[in-house]
Amino acid sequence: MKNDMIIVLDFGGQYNQLIARRVRECGVYCEVYPYSLPIEDIKRKNPRGIILTGGPNSIYDEKSPKCDRELFSLNIPVLGLCYGAQAITHCLGGKVESAPASEYGKTEVELLKDSALFKDIAGEESLKAESGYVKNICWMSHTDYIVEAPEGFEVIAKTPICPVAAMQCEEKNIYAIQFHPEVMHTRDGEKMLRTFVLDICKCEGTWQMDAFVEEKITQIKETVGDGKVLCALSGGVDSSVCAVMLSKAVGKQLTCVFVDHGLLRKNEAEEVEGVFGANGPYDLNFIKIDAQQRFYDKLAGVTEPEQKRKIIGEEFIRVFEEEAKKIGAVDFLAQGTIYPDIIESGLEDSAVIKSHHNVGGLPDYVDFKEIIEPLRMLFKDEVRKAGLELGIPEHLVYRQPFPGPGLGIRIVGDVTAEKVKIVQEADAIYREEVALAGLDKSISQYFAALTNMRSVGVMGDFRTYDYAVVLRAITTTDFMTAEASQLPWELLSKVTTRIVNEVNGVSRVMYDCTGKPPATIEME
Ligand code: XMP
């Protein structure tokens, strides 16, 4: 695997995450590093190819990130995309200027048929082709453009605005594209990346998740030696996959700490303990901390959502820290950080961000020698694949996301043990019925939450004045935007009847039809 790797150098663009993913989809392992990764490090990693990403800067600004000229003497194929293409141009003596008009979105581009990069690209049937070129659709997003290719380069694509929409120096295996092949709106973009990775870089394309898992397990063994590792386990997909990987690598040198903050779904603590505890299949130490009352005490009377989040995060840290001290002499902290967590805070100082992100903000003063984050280059669906490779049961691997602050942000207003119980029961009924209706795999996330509203009802001959539960179900791919799912009325009706009949303290059930934006997925 080590010899068959592509390095993506990140110049800060918005599609960077996609590039790594597209490369891995070609069966080639890929890692993303800051553009400033020293040449010596690149040499040591011995990649088959290097991809330079887009970015928001203007290359002719003094402070903007630049390429190291030595990059082009390593005899490793290089592909620059958007800003990356301009960085190559600038570095090798071509000319980049501010374009007379910006190009954003779908744009017609003419591709030189004979270029190795555009192999097998037929172009748009409906667009008239010029001799030697095929017309295609690409995704553009730029204000600057390349006006003059560096010496030794041949122009291989153009648009009505861009005289150099792509260029190549075949002799040195350097390619540069102004548009974004990684974005699905570029017709055959993924074919271009595949050609670069497999034909030009000569990668084998045989990498699969099992190789990644094996490699990581070996790396972890080497890093940890005979040291002790602590892992904050929430039972969610990322931390579970991380824990199992660690367990395969170092067995009982690993201690997983699971904090029950009293804001978990019904039976969740028991389920997590069943899988990871002493009777479960994994070789690790498991500690469950019952800290419910501590959290309820801290949250008493607090209604402001951000304050609630902060209290839960802070208290989590305290509990975790106390446990770390009790175990003592723990050198390593393992976290299930995944790539989207890293980009939230920028790649440059990702290690620090990670330790602050995953468990609601681990403090710097918990004294660990090193943080281990084996999943930090993967996306959620890739983590799931790794989980399956590790033999984790499907029902755990395909769990829907559950936020760190748990039911604390699904109870609008102040949190009490009584309200937690209501929302746990209502949510359990909802989940059971959604699964019975066969919809549990097609809805991205669904849960019951408790509004802070009480309203008048009638049950039997009595007046009631109880809470309203709200049901939420959304469909999304990235959880950044979402649509409310259109659940069958029979299902909603059955869930409503069951909740009102079976859960004390609820007299009304509502369905949340709001998308994101303008709402968020969680209530708070
Ligand atoms: P929102 O509510 O921001 O949620 O639309 C987007 C996704 O993120 C999850 N979420 C969290 N996950 N810690 C987490 O680990 C949190 O504090 C948190 N807040 C929201 C949410 O469940 C949804 O999947």
Question: What is the secondary structure of 24-85 as a DSSP string?
Answer: HHTT-EEEEEETT--HHHHHHH--SEEEE---SS-TTSTTS----GGGGGSS--EEEETHHH
Q: How far is residue 30's CA from residue 219's CA, in Å, rounded to a whole number? A: 16
Token pair in block for residue 462: 């009595």
Please give the pLDDT value at position 267.
94
**Res. 130: pLDDT tops 90:** no
Please tell me if the CB atom of residue 406 comes closer than 6 angstroms to any atom of ligand 1.
no
Where is average pLDDT lowest: 64-73, 334-343, 371-380? 334-343
Please give the pLDDT value at position 359.
42
Supply angle C-alpha 277, 282, 283, rounded to 5: 100
Please tell me if the CB atom of residue 401 comes closer than 6 angstroms to any atom of ligand 1.
yes
Please give the pLDDT value at position 401.
87
| pTM flag (> 0.95) | no
Please tell me if the CB atom of residue 445 comes closer than 6 angstroms to any atom of ligand 1.
yes
Q: What separation in Å is there between the alpha carbon of 237 and the centre of ligand 1?
A: 14
Positions annotated as catalytic residues are 82, 180, 182
pLDDT band for 286, please (50, 70, 90 cuts). very high
Where is average pLDDT lowest: 10-19, 251-260, 456-465? 10-19
Please tell me if the CB atom of residue 404 comes closer than 6 angstroms to any atom of ligand 1.
yes
Q: What is the mean pLDDT of residues 379-389?
A: 90
Ligand 1 atom closest to the CA of 402, numbered from 1? 22
Where is average pLDDT lowest: 168-172, 204-208, 428-432? 204-208
In terms of residues, how long is the chain? 524
**Res. 3: pLDDT tops 90:** no
Contact 483, 475 (CB under 8 A): yes
Give, for ligand 1, the residue of 307, 476, 522 to mutate: max count of ligand atoms closer than 8 Å to Cβ: 522
Ligand 1 atom closest to the CA of 236, numbered from 1? 15
Question: Which residue ranges form the domains of the chain, and what is each CATH number?
Answer: 5-200 (3.40.50.880), 209-397 (3.40.50.620), 410-511 (3.30.300.10)
pLDDT band for 143, please (50, 70, 90 cuts). confident
One-letter amino acid of 385: K
pLDDT band for 367, please (50, 70, 90 cuts). low
Please tell me if the CB atom of residue 516 comes closer than 6 angstroms to any atom of ligand 1.
yes
